[in-house]
Amino acid sequence: RAAPLVLGIETSCDETGVGIVRGTDLLANTIASSMEEHARYGGVVPEVAARAHLEALGPAIRQALDEASVSLADLDAVAVTSGPGLAGALMVGVGAAKALSISLGVPLYGVNHLVGHVGADLLDDRAPLETPTVALLVSGGHTSLLLVRDLVSDVELLGETIDDAAGEAFDKVARLLGLPYPGGPEIDRAAIGGDPDSIRFPRGLTKPKDLERHRYDFSFSGLKTAVARWVERAEAAGDEVPLADVAASFREAVVDVLVGKAIAACVDLGVPRLLLGGGVVANARLRQVAEQRADAAGISLRIPPFSLCTDNGAMIAALGAKLIMAGHEASGLGFGADSTLP
Ligand code: KG4
Ligand code: ZN
């Protein structure tokens, strides 16, 4: 039986993503972002995101079909992110996906956004993803550590952030350093030439007492406060703030904890594989430290191409296709948008 042609829709945050795959072949990956509209607020505004999806989704579907050179009538199924994410934003995608499913008479698969990030790896040209694998997903909206025993039936949440997401920490610290949104690339640029060991910023939830209850959890709000205090003190003393050192030291603290906990999970659980995903993977220092420490621990590291790491519809389509090929039942039309889906 031929691999299924699946259209995937992603609207959980600020990217309107529509992807089309045939099995594990990527045919189209269209992304429209409302990032610029959010920039003046310094973060994603849910109401603005939902309205932007409503405007962008129709044209994005059209564009993806053109890019893939297929027509709606060719589709075998539709997949959509049902959660977690911003409720109003998710509803736009779920509503559109249901309309397509009904009108085309094809099955609909509602999928978990985080598992979708892991599914992005299915579209890689390299050897297929081996399981079990640990997955570290880091973006502006989430910071999660997963144990993936089987992509379609057995994904366990090992830990997540108890306050800010890693990307959110980059955005907030950038703001307090007077840099624009999104903060990740700005901090990266500011850190050039800086000494990552010049300021020892706190590593959240790494003290022995914290590790008992939060071994695989993350916390970045204390780090953000520590950076704010450090800058305030320097300014109060009349010193010039060494932007490159502060940026490099902050980034080092985030990367150290992210990679440290991910590798620890691999070692503890005897899983010699680690997958990275999410927009923060754009951080070159994160990739570098992950490569070094994975290498030293004998863990094989996988990072999907960056265009598949940020939120996109192709990863949702890929997971939908995988569900079909694994013989899973469709979701039907009765599911909603679940902003707090585990
Ligand atoms: O996955 P993504 O595009 O959207 C979601 O948040 O879901 O991730 C965006 C986040 C933002 O917080 C942004 O500051 C961060 O990823 N980011 C980075 C870098 N590029 C983007 N963080 C650190 N270093 C970067 N180079
Ligand atoms: Zn995401």
CB 309 within 8 A of CB 10: no
The answer to whether position 86 is within a domain reads: yes
Residue 146 and residue 80 in one domain: no
Pairing of strands 15-22, 5-10: antiparallel
Ligand with smallest separation from the Cα of 166: 1
Residue 102 and residue 21 in one domain: yes
The answer to whether the annotation marks 328 as part of a ligand binding site is: no
57: pLDDT strictly greater than 90: yes
Listed residues: CB within 5 A of ion ligand 2: 139, 311
Task: Give the pLDDT confidence score for residue 263 in this predicted structure.
Answer: 98
CB 273 within 8 A of CB 135: no
Taking residues 166-182, what's their average pLDDT? 95
Rounded to the nearest angstrom, the distance between the alpha carbon of 287 and the centre of ligand 1 is: 14
The answer to whether the annotation marks 320 as part of a ligand binding site is: no
Q: What is the pLDDT of residues 255-266, one digit of tens each?
A: 999 999 999 999
Residue 317 and residue 292 in one domain: no
Rounded to the nearest angstrom, the distance between the alpha carbon of 14 and the centre of ligand 2 is: 10
Strands ordered across the beta sheet of 108-112: 25-33, 15-22, 5-10, 77-83, 108-112
Task: Give the pLDDT confidence score for residue 314 in this predicted structure.
Answer: 98
Residue 338 class from Cβ within 10 Å (0-12 exposed, 13-18 middle, 19+ buried)?
Answer: middle
278: pLDDT strictly greater than 80: yes
Distance, CA of 169 to chain centre: 14
d(CA 80, CA 313): 8
The answer to whether position 332 is within a domain reads: no
Bridge partners for 145 per DSSP: 136, 159
The answer to whether position 335 is within a domain reads: no
Largest Cα span, the chain:
71
Average pLDDT, the chain: 95
CB 163 within 8 A of CB 220: yes
Rounded to the nearest angstrom, the distance between the alpha carbon of 20 and the centre of ligand 1 is: 24
Residue nearest to atom 23 of ligand 1 (CA): 184
Residue 94 and residue 157 in one domain: no
Residue 108 and residue 219 in one domain: no
Rounded to the nearest angstrom, the distance between the alpha carbon of 139 and the centre of ligand 2 is: 6
Residue 159 and residue 288 in one domain: yes
Distance, CA of 55 to chain centre: 23
Does the model's ipTM exceed the 0.95 cut?
yes
d(CA 190, CA 31): 28
Radius of gyration of the chain from its Cα atoms, rounded to whole angstroms:
20
Rounded to the nearest angstrom, the distance between the alpha carbon of 113 and the centre of ligand 2 is: 6
231: pLDDT strictly greater than 70: yes
From the CA of 284, give the closest atom in ligand 1. Answer: 26
Opening angle at CA 44, ends 254 and 187, nearest 5:
35
Residue 326 class from Cβ within 10 Å (0-12 exposed, 13-18 middle, 19+ buried)?
Answer: exposed
Residue 252 and residue 164 in one domain: yes
Asked whether 277 lines ligand 1 (CB < 6 A), one says: no
The answer to whether the annotation marks 138 as part of a ligand binding site is: yes
d(CA 224, CA 92): 33
Residue 295 and residue 146 in one domain: yes
Q: What is the pLDDT of residues 97-147, one digit of tens each?
A: 999 999 999 999 999 999 999 999 999 777 788 999 999 999 999 999 999
Taking residues 184-203, what's their average pLDDT? 97
User: Which residue in 113, 34, 49 sits closest to 80, CA to CA?
Assistant: 113
The answer to whether the annotation marks 188 as part of a ligand binding site is: yes
Asked whether 183 lines ligand 1 (CB < 6 A), one says: yes
Residue 194 and residue 252 in one domain: yes
CATH number at residue 246: 3.30.420.40
The answer to whether position 63 is within a domain reads: yes
How many domains are contained in the chain?
A: 2
Structure tokens belonging to residue 291: 């490569």
42: pLDDT strictly greater than 90: no
Taking residues 38-67, what's their average pLDDT? 93
Structure tokens belonging to residue 16: 């309107």
308: pLDDT strictly greater than 90: yes
- The pair phi, psi for residue 6, each rounded to 5°, is -125, 135
The answer to whether position 61 is within a domain reads: yes
157: pLDDT strictly greater than 80: yes
44: pLDDT strictly greater than 90: no
* DSSP code at position 107: -
Task: Give the pLDDT confidence score for residue 221 in this predicted structure.
Answer: 96
* pLDDT band at residue 1 using 50, 70 and 90 as cut-offs: low
Taking residues 208-226, what's their average pLDDT? 97
Instruction: Encode burial over 110-141: b for 16+ CB neighbours within 10 A, e otherwise.
Output: bbbbbbbbbbbbbbbeeeebebbbbbbbbbbb
* pLDDT band at residue 326 using 50, 70 and 90 as cut-offs: very high
The answer to whether the annotation marks 29 as part of a ligand binding site is: no
- Its domain, for residue 23, covers 5-122+309-325
The answer to whether position 337 is within a domain reads: no
d(CA 101, CA 104): 5
Residue 109 and residue 24 in one domain: yes
Task: Give the pLDDT confidence score for residue 126 in this predicted structure.
Answer: 73
Residue 168 and residue 292 in one domain: yes
Residue 63 and residue 146 in one domain: no
